[in-house]
Structure 1
């Protein structure tokens, strides 16, 4: 799903860009849309969250089975000049991941097939503060890069749950910090500005809540677990 979306957006961008670069058509849509000091919009998108693990001992990696999640949110844009904008993009991000453990983690212990899998469902209130650096507008499109920091509140967090993996509960922290970097293209259509963008996110803080047992097969060998992810957003302004 993620690869298909990326291909579709790439083909759309290439086709539109080529048509505008080599066409004699020079009429500009929405010429004044970027001149407002403050502007607003909304976005719809898809996300894919993963984990990056570091380990104490050299065992087989924990496999992360990712899914395609859904995102929706608002956009607030502060224009600095023709090439620089500051953006706030609060949104709701829903995702799910499955952690698959190798049998070697349970050597000498009794376990079932259910013990080898932990489902991690997450619903985030994600709030990034971003700096958008754009090129000069060419006909009806304008490429840009974007980067910044963000914070997220995991509404599905079970950080304070006294039960841990011994009772089937894989616990994660409630508050997280990230840095983000990405790129996109503003397309100036007749009635609005349409912006497809791709952005990567990388956690700055440790996210796992260890089990009470320091030798737990689920968390005992994990020295660090941090989120990394990919966002594909379609913004309308």
Structure 2
């Protein structure tokens, strides 16, 4: 008898939960039916950069003397930043949207140089640079969304992001190019609130081009900086971004 009562109790509980889910009131049920809409975005991100060290190099000084250096260069950690922007999104089909999102990314990368020559003076063994960056970006993303379930809707996205570097000093060890292009992919979820929709999204961005300004070393006025500037020949920037979209 106790088993029968227990089974009946579980059945009634499951039916109650199912009925409650069916009776969930959808907030803003027609918001996704609009052909086009706008919004705002804010978020945070982590920046890293892949640097290709060239190994031993021979530097010819202005007076004609030669010296061989072996200098390694790397970003010591993922550095954080933040971004703000706007968005415009077009409804293609029931499950696909196309989004354009201009934004400004603020950040910095801490670069470390290590001279492997133990005979070098102490001043030449270690150098560092805070590579500050401000990028104007414009993401072009295709969003594939699942059917809406109550007041949330998960999705995946893929896109391209051209970027313009608004910073760069001619008196620094490394300098990045003015223009870059990122491939980005990620996922998120729409949450439908009574008065607006919020969309947290996590995405990974990877540079498709060599981001390093390879001609920068030749323009340096300080001859002692050239071995560090010439220690790498390629750079690929990476970004992990957590963004909140409000519509």
Same fold per TM (> 0.5)?
yes
User: Would the alpha carbon gap of residues 72 and 21 (structure 1) be closer, same or farther in structure 2, given more than 3 Å must change?
Assistant: farther
Aligned residues of 1:66 and 1:96 also touching (Cα < 8 A) = no
Where does residue 26 of structure 2 map in the other structure? 28
Structure 1 gap ranges (5+): 1-19
User: Would the alpha carbon gap of residues 23 and 71 (structure 1) be closer, same or farther in structure 2, given more than 3 Å must change?
Assistant: farther
Where does residue 229 of structure 1 map in the other structure? 239
1:65 corresponds, among 77, 83, 91, to 77
Shift of 1:114: 9.5
Where does residue 39 of structure 1 map in the other structure? 37
Aligned residues of 1:176 and 1:207 also touching (Cα < 8 A) = yes
Q: Say whether 1:78 aligns with 2:84.
A: no
CA RMSD, Structure 1 to Structure 2 (Å): 2.6
Runs of 4+ in 1 over 6 A off after TM superposition: none
Deviations 1:74-99 (A, max 9, x none): 01001001100000010011001110
Where does residue 112 of structure 1 map in the other structure? 123
For the residue of structure 2 that corresponds to 1:74, the secondary structure is strand
Where does residue 207 of structure 2 map in the other structure? 203
Q: How does 1:125-164 map to 2 (within 5 A)?
A: 125-158=136-169, 161=170, 163=171
Q: Say whether 1:124 aligns with 2:126.
A: no
Where does residue 97 of structure 1 map in the other structure? 109
For the residue of structure 1 that corresponds to 2:228, the secondary structure is coil
Aligned residues of 2:48 and 2:75 also touching (Cα < 8 A) = no
- Greater strand share, structure number: 2
| Greater Cα radius of gyration, structure 1 or 2 | 2
Shift of 1:199: 0.7
Where does residue 49 of structure 1 map in the other structure? 47
User: Would the alpha carbon gap of residues 108 and 225 (structure 1) be closer, same or farther in structure 2, given more than 3 Å must change?
Assistant: farther
Structure 2 gap ranges (5+): 1-16, 57-70
* Count of aligned pairs: 210
For the residue of structure 2 that corresponds to 1:65, the secondary structure is coil
Aligned residues of 1:194 and 1:236 also touching (Cα < 8 A) = yes
Where does residue 183 of structure 1 map in the other structure? 187
For the residue of structure 2 that corresponds to 1:102, the secondary structure is strand
CA distance in structure 2 between the aligned counterparts of 1:31 and 1:153, rounded to whole angstroms: 38
Aligned residues of 2:47 and 2:239 also touching (Cα < 8 A) = yes
What TM-score do you get using the length of structure 1 for normalisation? 0.80
Shift of 1:171: 1.5
Deviations 1:34-82 (A, max 9, x none): 0010011001100111101223338756233333211100010010011
